[in-house]
Amino acid sequence: MQLSTYFLSLQNPPSLSYRHRLCHHSLSKRPFRHKLICSLANSADQRSSELVTTLQSETLKTLEWPSLCNYLSPFTSTSMAFSLTKAAAIPVGQSREESQKLLDQTTSALHALEALKSEPLDLSVIEDVSEILHSAASGQVLTVRELCRVRRMLGAARAVSEKLAAIAEGGSLERYTPLLEILQGCNFQLELERKIGFCIDCSLSTILGRASEELELIREERKRNMENLDSLLKEVSVSIFQAGGIDKPLITKRRSRMCVGVKATHKYLLPGGVVLNVSSSGATYFMEPKEAVELNNMEVKLSNSEKAEEMAILSLLTSEIAESEAEIKYLLDRLIEVDLAFARAAYAQWVNGVCPILSSKESEMLISNGADNALSIDIEGMQHPLLLGSFLSNSTDFITSNSMGPSVLGNKSGEMTPIKSSKVVSNFPIPIDIKVQCGTRVVIISGPNTGGKTASMKTLGLASIMSKAGMYLPAKKQPRLPWFDLVLADIGDSQSLEQSLSTFSGHISQICEILEVASKESLVLIDEIGSGTDPSEGVALSTSILQYLKNRVNLAFVTTHYADLSRLKEMDPQYENAAMEFSLETLQPTYQILWGRTGDSNALTIAKSIGFDGNIIERAKMWVESLMPEKQQERKVVLQQSLMEERNRLEAQFKRAESLHAEIMKLYHEE
């Protein structure tokens, strides 16, 4: 069987006419593959990849990354991208370059959303045909409906590409290059799409006669035969009616053969006829007239031939889809990337997000050499993404994916382009600043319980993973932070009944594994380090762990109630202290981080505020003074010293700002 010579004479599909021409796919030039679990560092041969995968997976659960991914779900358009967000399997860059590529795609999608505001890009028409492709590849002949689904997907994919290309032609090509590059190298299978459309009428779900010359001939012959058979049966049925053998002329089909109805008492009117069936009452016979036997035989033969030819056409189209399986799957993967880029862009608008800058070691060195108190992490006004998402979802002015919230776009030159919106920025959750100087390797956060230490640490962890995944951060200005190969966390209760581990043993076991896999590019988060055991031993072990981390990782954030750990900064500038602010006036935490300071637990103050007997509080104060009189004084001295250092630093920055202002004004007046 061959397809119609008319169809075979169709020319190959013309090339698409936009600047970034989408060339045919080459499997040897596939772009980088995304994985949820970050790539191993160069020292991967020295550590177990299974342990890395396990620890990273546990960290993602601890930081509630799956819950954050769920907030992306409403902004996806395809079922495939929706499933990925629900499974927390969205792409995460395995290198700084890959993460930057994802961020560039998000920025490009934001520009596209603005350009397409009057006529949004409809990605919902992209169907998941992966199961159909699998069926075709396994040798199962596809149905008409399945072939039409593939055709619709190919047509929709081409339309998406052409629409993106059109807005790129009408605006700044550089803005949309990251999006166009996703689909670059894809084969849109235009010839296959047209071939299916030529052979099948998808609106009626039928195979067209023009699909092959043989099918066309069979259908023409069958039509003539049916006309002859229908004319004969009408003549016989009328004569039976006129003879009183039936109440009205009746032509029907029984056992795949055309026949007429006749009363049982009048079957003699059809001598030599064949009884094909009898009515349930037995009063009517359905008989095939002797003259119709040959015509019915021909109808059955032609019908079978038509079905065989249709099956051959379906088989041929199926084989062509099977041959293109890899390219179509590749196209689907790239369309998912486009969908996720637009989902990240819509999410950025929803949370009023800004694009983070992923700094490298080289850029950190340049920054630190060019300015005093240069920052390797500079995140201002960062809101906890999960708390913010919950607040926005429950607020009355919920922002959907179709409404435009404010955002800020970062272009490659570093200039900031605001997107205007009337959306009011919420002050809940309370924004925090995370500022870590270049050269700092360990940050020790102290302060009272319920003061926000753990939440602040989780915010940094989520900010790091979000940046790696190409997501904008709910912060102010433009956040800067390093790209971390691994984010490893020991947060929460690590008690294990199954392994007979106490809380302390569980934490130490987790930290031991973290130390085993952490690299010079890793971020380590440890909550309440060394707790759950004798304080003196806890401090000693914690100090040793922090000294080990200082020389092993990019950055470690730890929370503690051990005041002695805050003294490490006095001996080594690679340590930094931070405290969670606590208002003694309201006896409530402010959830603000005070950098360069140490915090008190305020346990007695808090106990008093919630109604403890005054005698108990006073007796506790006496015990504190008797047990640690020297340490209390030392802590006050350290606190005073840190406050003085902070004041000196601010004064130096103020003087430098005044000097720069004077120089600028001088240049201004000279012109």
How far is 83 from 89, CA to CA, in rounded Å?
8
Q: Which of 43, 20, 275 is nearest to 162 (CA)?
A: 20
pLDDT (0 to 100) of residue 625: 63
| Between 416 and 100, the higher pLDDT residue | 100
392 class by beta-carbon count within 10 Å (0-12 exposed, 13-18 middle, 19+ buried): buried
Q: Sign of torsion, CA 636 637 641 644?
A: positive
The whole-chain average pLDDT of the chain stands at 82
Residue located via tokens 């003879």 = 243
Q: Which of 529, 533, 561, 605 is nearest to 449 (CA)?
A: 561
Residue 40 has pLDDT above 60, yes or no: no
Q: Which of 37-46, 131-140, 548-557, 590-599 is predicted least confidently?
A: 37-46
Q: At 329, is the secondary structure helix, strand, or coil?
A: helix
Mean pLDDT of 75-88: 95
Q: Which amino acid is at 517?
A: V
How far is 329 from 131, CA to CA, in rounded Å?
10
Neighbours of 216 (CB within 10 A): 15
Q: Which of 157, 186, 181, 188 is nearest to 98 (CA)?
A: 181
pLDDT (0 to 100) of residue 421: 38
pLDDT above 70 as % of the chain = 77
pLDDT (0 to 100) of residue 1: 54
pLDDT (0 to 100) of residue 216: 96
Confidence of residue 42 (pLDDT cuts 50, 70, 90): very low
Q: Which amino acid is at 331?
A: L
Q: For the CA atoms of 291, 292, 296, 299, what is the dihedral angle to 10 degrees?
A: 100
Q: Residue 93 corresponds to which tokens in the numbers above?
A: 């860059």
pLDDT (0 to 100) of residue 603: 64
pLDDT (0 to 100) of residue 413: 35
Which stretches of 473-622 are assigned E, i.e. beta strand?
476-482, 487-490, 523-526, 555-560, 575-583, 588-595
Q: How many CA atoms lie within 13 A of 634 on its CB side?
A: 10
Residue 580 has pLDDT above 60, yes or no: yes
Q: What is the largest CA-CA distance in the chain?
A: 126
| Between 25 and 178, the higher pLDDT residue | 178
Residue 357 pairs in a beta bridge with 480
Q: How many CA atoms lie within 13 A of 209 on its CB side?
A: 8
pLDDT (0 to 100) of residue 80: 96
Mean pLDDT of 449-478: 90
pLDDT (0 to 100) of residue 275: 95
Q: Are strands 284-288 and 407-410 parallel, antiparallel or unpaired?
A: unpaired
Residue 30 has pLDDT above 60, yes or no: no
DSSP 111-167: HHHHHTSSS----TT----HHHHHHHHTTPPPPHHHHHHHHHHHHHHHHHHHHHHHH
Residue located via tokens 């550590």 = 47
pLDDT (0 to 100) of residue 399: 43
| Between 546 and 399, the higher pLDDT residue | 546
Buried b (16+ CB within 10 A) or exposed e, 53-66: bebbebbbebbbbe
Q: Are strands 257-263 and 251-254 parallel, antiparallel or unpaired?
A: antiparallel
pTM for the complete prediction?
Answer: 0.78
The DSSP output letter for 521 is T
pLDDT (0 to 100) of residue 662: 83
| Between 365 and 118, the higher pLDDT residue | 118
Are 569 and 575 in contact by the 8 Å Cβ rule? The answer is yes
pLDDT (0 to 100) of residue 257: 94
Residues 6+ apart with CB under 8 A from 600: 446, 447, 448, 582, 635
pLDDT above 90 as % of the chain = 54
In Å, what is the CA distance from 75 to each residue of 92, 183, 352, 469, 582?
18, 20, 15, 16, 38
Confidence of residue 646 (pLDDT cuts 50, 70, 90): confident
Q: Which of 326, 443, 459, 447 is nearest to 389 (CA)?
A: 459
pLDDT (0 to 100) of residue 592: 83
How far is 481 from 360, CA to CA, in rounded Å?
9
Q: Which of 184-193, 232-241, 560-569 is predicted least confidently?
A: 560-569
pLDDT (0 to 100) of residue 656: 84
Q: How many residues does the chain have?
A: 671
Q: Which of 201-215, 369-383, 454-468, 473-487 is predicted least confidently?
A: 369-383
Confidence of residue 35 (pLDDT cuts 50, 70, 90): very low
Residues 6+ apart with CB under 8 A from 494: 501, 503, 506, 507, 509, 510
Q: Which of 3-7, 233-237, 385-389, 566-570 is predicted least confidently?
A: 3-7
Residue 203 has pLDDT above 90, yes or no: yes
Q: How many CA atoms lie within 13 A of 461 on its CB side?
A: 30
Mean pLDDT of 20-39: 38
How far is 59 from 81, CA to CA, in rounded Å?
23
| Between 586 and 487, the higher pLDDT residue | 487
Residue 418 has pLDDT above 60, yes or no: no
Q: Residue 474 corresponds to which tokens in the numbers above?
A: 């709910």
Residue 444 pairs in a beta bridge with 558, 577
Confidence of residue 266 (pLDDT cuts 50, 70, 90): very high
Q: For the CA atoms of 645, 647, 651, 654, what is the dihedral angle to 10 degrees?
A: 120
How far is 419 from 405, CA to CA, in rounded Å?
8
Mean pLDDT of 163-188: 89
pLDDT (0 to 100) of residue 598: 74
How far is 25 from 28, CA to CA, in rounded Å?
9
Residue 601 has pLDDT above 70, yes or no: no
Q: How far is CA 336 from the centre of its chain?
A: 9
pLDDT (0 to 100) of residue 78: 95
| Between 494 and 87, the higher pLDDT residue | 87
| Between 421 and 644, the higher pLDDT residue | 644
Residue 366 has pLDDT above 50, yes or no: yes
What are the pLDDT digits (tens) for 297-335? 999 999 999 999 999 999 999 999 999 999 999 999 999
pLDDT (0 to 100) of residue 411: 42
Residue 43 has pLDDT above 60, yes or no: no
